[in-house]
A and B are shown apart, each in its own frame.
Chain A
Amino acid sequence: MTALGKLFLFAVLGFLYLPVAVLVAMAFNASPLYALPFEFTTHWFEELAGNDKLLAATRNSVLIAILTTVLATVIGALAAIALSRRRFRGRTLLRLLLLPPIAIPWLIIGTAMLVFFFWTGIGRGLHAMVLGHVALAIPYVVLVVGAGLNNTRIDLEEAAMSLGSTPLHAFFAVTLPLLMPSLIAAALFAFAVSLDQFVISYFLATPGVSTLPVEIYTSIRKGFTPEVNAVSSLLLAASMILIIIFARLTKVGGVSGRR
């Protein structure tokens, strides 16, 4: 690679990671006002351990994200299988209708959900947030799993059937293992969509039950504390670990080296 190309690559990575690096560094800086020189401390993490509101919000966020991941992946994957393998009336229309929710601004979806949930009596709170997040994540799952299904081959299932598999067994023995990378990617998408989600969570949160993004936003408005940096750093570490596991499992990014 040319020197210029390398420079460009580092510039892009710098642009992506510098703000995050500053945040992590400040989580370990003694001054609450970001004053330099840097003075290492784990004080803010200790403070965090005592901040019940922030911890509760983190627990909520993780819980909602896990529930969303499981529900959205299962529902979305089943929908993707139906859309790619079955022939039925309105299939094309249904497939098309899955895309707009990705493009509609979250503010609008959030408002709509708030109104709808109020009107139907579902209300607000943890369950409402899970519902909202699942609805948001499903189109992503359908897209990712659908793309994966396009790469699986019908003839493999036919071969399994010729060897004595029922269609269900053929699916589980042949198609599902080959679909695994797509399913993991879809699950990760769902997890990220949920963990990231601010607008909808903000609308559906109740005073006692909020998520981490909502809680961070609230505490910034009240006056910034570096505990937010600390909790963000922890979350960052968790996401990084997840991504690395994903890359290992799916061989994205050439981690395993061989194609």
Chain B
Amino acid sequence: MAAVDAETIGKSYGATAVLDDVSLRFEDGRFTSLLGPSGSGKTTLLRIVAGFVTADRGRILIGGEDVTSVPVWKRAIGMVFQSYALFPHMSVDDNVAFGLARRGVRGAEASRRVGEALEMVRLSGFGARRPKELSGGQQQRVALARAIVTRPRVLLLDEPLSALDRRLRQEMQVELKRIQREVGITTIFVTHDQEEALALSDHVAILDRGRIVQAGPPGEIYERPATRFAASFLGDANFLEGVVAEGGVIVGGVLVRTDDPLPAPGTKALLAVRPEKIALVPAWGAAPAGHNAVPATVRQVVYAGAASTYLLDGPGGVALTVFAQNRTGGPVAEAGATVTLAFPPKQTILIKD
């Protein structure tokens, strides 16, 4: 086990910068997700840590040791590929034993460890089968067993769940997290799925166009997004643009207050509010004391049983979204109704555009 450090990693393909001097620490034993859209450089960063891609600039350290010029096969990593990449001409046992044999572990000791690894992924008794005789989820677990059986210093996961259907994916998320905890291995997980990143990670790094936009525990990024991209990529967000005034930001003629320190009055500012932090108050009611009160018109209500999504037009015509539990039986407002949106200044976050 070891921490992994990426130090000012730069990588370009031709004129296109894929990674722009990215620095990130993957703490020992921690599950870190690299979250970003396609083209954000997350996979390239993973492949640089693995050693499949050579960075133009920067260093990779595993357990404090500089491995920048160490080839893949000497880095002592474990990797699970998007396609699983199981060897089709070998049995499950032979697949799992492959890495052990490369490290000189053979015979009874190898059999014992293969057995342990298959037990850990709950596939005992499947050892004699060929990969094509297994379901997608089972192949996935074999790939995981194969990657961890050699006790690598770091486990690299390249969108390993994306080929599975939704139900199986959720099941595998739980399994993956359990196994990662049991083994206690430093894990780097590449995904474009925000829910997956939230559910699995101790730490999330959001990438956009080759840069790390924000890194931190998932709850911190969700509650305190730093930029418009981070706020919209991890979860949903309402954005309120306006001009800084005394005590808040004027958005479409309405003063919206925030607990965050504001720049000088007169400058432009951007605020973000998560849709579930906003309460809908009927026009005849009043917002709780100290809350922001923003008038809006309901454009559409999407009823989804437990909760409803309200699409609204706010001050200056800005499009807003509110999630609310259907506590009182059905939606609390209909399309066309004029309402007041109430939300605390503490949940009104000043972000960078």
The smallest beta-carbon distance between A189 and chain B, in angstroms, is: 23
A159 at the interface (CB under 8 A from B): yes
Known: A156-B87, A174-B87. A165 touches B73 (CB 8 A): yes
| B83 near A155: Cβ-Cβ < 8 Å | yes
A159–B77 alpha-carbon span in the complex (Å): 11
Q: A163-B102, A163-B146, A163-B150 given as contacts; is B85 within 8 A of A153 (CB)?
A: yes
Given contacts A163-B150, A164-B73, contact A155 B102 (CB under 8 A): no
Nearest chain B CB to A33's CB is how many angstroms away? 56
Judging by beta carbons under 8 Å apart, are A159 and B79 in contact?
A: yes
Residues of A within 8 A of B156 (CB): 162
Q: Does A14 sit at the interface, judged by CB under 8 A?
A: no
Q: With A and B bound together, what is the CA distance between A20 and B262 in angstroms?
A: 94
A162/B77 in contact, CB under 8 A = yes
Task: Assess whether A155 is in contact with B81, with CB atoms less than 8 Å apart.
Answer: yes
- Tally of A interface residues using CB under 8 Å: 17
- Within 8 Å of chain A (Cβ to Cβ): is B88? yes
Knowing A177-B89, A178-B89, say if A164 contacts B102 (CB, 8 Å): yes
Is B103 interfacial (CB-CB < 8 Å)? Answer: yes
- Interface of chain A: mostly helix, strand, loop or mixed: helix
Closest residue on chain B to residue A170 by CB atoms: B73
Residue A109 interfacial (CB < 8 Å): no
Q: Is the CB of A162 within 8 A of B98?
A: no
A59 to B77, CA, bound (A): 55
Binary contact readout B266-279 vs A (1 if CB under 8 angstroms, 0 otherwise):
00000000000000
Q: Which residues of B contact A163 (CB under 8 A)?
A: 73, 78, 98-99, 102, 146, 150
* A83 in the interface (beta carbon within 8 A): no
A178 to B90, CA, bound (A): 10
Give A83 to B99 CA distance when docked, in angstroms. Answer: 29
Interface size class of B (residues with CB under 8 A): 20 to 34
Between A153, A159, A169, the greatest number of chain B beta carbons within 10 A of the residue's beta carbon is seen for: A159
Near B by CB (< 8 A), chain A positions 160-176 give 160-166, 169, 173-174
With a CB–CB cut-off of 8 A, which chain B residues contact A169? 102
**Whose C-beta in chain B lies nearest to the C-beta of A160?**
B98
Judged by a CB distance under 8 angstroms, whether B50 is at the interface is yes
Instruction: Give per-residue flags for B67-82: 1 if the beta carbon is below 8 A from chain A beta carbons, else 0.
Output: 0000111100111010
- Closest-CB distance, A163 to chain B (whole angstroms): 3
Q: Tell me if B303 is interfacial: C-beta within 8 Å of chain A.
A: no
B85 in contact with A155 (CB, 8 Å): yes
Task: Give 1 or 0 for each of A76-105: 1 = CB within 8 Å of chain B CB.
Answer: 000000000000000000000000000000
Whole-angstrom distance between the Cβ of A138 and the nearest chain B Cβ: 27
A-chain residues with CB within 8 Å of residue B86 when the two chains form the complex: 159
- CB-CB < 8 A to A153: which residues of B? 83, 85
Q: Determine the chain A residues whose CB is within 8 A of the CB of B147 once the complex forms.
A: 162
B249 to chain A, nearest CB (A): 50
Q: Are B85 and A158 in contact (CB under 8 A)?
A: yes
Other-chain contact of B99, A164, A166, A178 (Cβ < 8 Å): A164
Answer whether A159 and B81 are a contact pair too, CB < 8 Å, given A164-B99, A164-B150, A178-B88. yes
Set A156, A158, A160, A174: member contacting B52, Cβ < 8 A? A158
Between A159, A161, A162, A173, the greatest number of chain B beta carbons within 10 A of the residue's beta carbon is seen for A162
5 additional A-B pairs beyond A160-B98, A162-B147, beta carbons within 8 Å, are A155-B85, A161-B73, A162-B77, A163-B146, A164-B150
- In the assembled complex, 15 residue pairs joining A and B whose CB atoms fall closer than 8 Å, in A order, are A153-B83, A153-B85, A156-B85, A158-B81, A159-B81, A159-B85, A161-B71, A161-B72, A162-B72, A163-B102, A164-B99, A164-B102, A164-B103, A173-B98, A178-B88
The 4 closest A-B pairs by CB, nearest first: A164-B102, A163-B99, A159-B85, A162-B79
